Amino acid sequence: MTATKRILGNAYVLGDNVDTDQIIPAQYLTLNPAIPEEYRQFGKYALSSVPPAMSGLPKGHIPFHTQDEFISDYKILVAGKNFGCGSSREHAPIALDAAGIEAVIAEFYARIFFRNAVNGGYLIPFECKQRLCDIVCTGDELELDIAGAVLLNRTTGETYELQPLGDVAPILEAGGLFPYARQVGMLKS
């Protein structure tokens, strides 16, 4: 991530309380993200077991990606409250990153998901100032201005202010906590 970066991509919209078991089902936790081919597999299984009756599923039961695809057609997740709740598995932001998600915009996050996303530099976790999961539709073309903390829905022409990233911005820009610590001299290179 760079301070001037913009992310362009289609939205995938989820509701409230999307937990880490729905983001990456437990049966895939035997994959080792340190092995590149297995890291890639996480993308294939991201959001693969969201039950159709779950309130977080987009209207019309739109799949996150087609069967046997590793990368989703979506770049930005828009979610409701308490995104990433449940277990503390660090595999959840890894799975979304492996699937091609660059940012998640939610009302608020489960603290552990937020920290795992930032610490690993996997994706950018923005918080929205209004309930965007009821406004934005799956498939809408979005443009996210990271430095300005602004989301433009290019499909509707609407613009939304997001909460600034604050103190986590330099960590994300460095690529995660360890690269940041090396960059600022907290760890030896």
Instruction: Characterise 139 by phi-psi region: left (phi > 0), alpha (psi -120 to 50), beta (else).
Output: left
Q: Which two tokens stand for residue 2?
A: 């760079």
Predicted structure pTM score? 0.91
Q: For residue range 104-147, list pLDDT tens digits in order.
A: 999 999 999 999 999 999 999 999 999 999 999 999 999 999 99
Judge whether residue 49 has pLDDT over 90: no
Q: How many residues would you count in the chain? A: 189
Confidence of residue 175 (pLDDT cuts 50, 70, 90): very high
User: Which domains, ranges and CATH numbers included, belong to the chain?
Assistant: 6-164 (3.20.19.10)
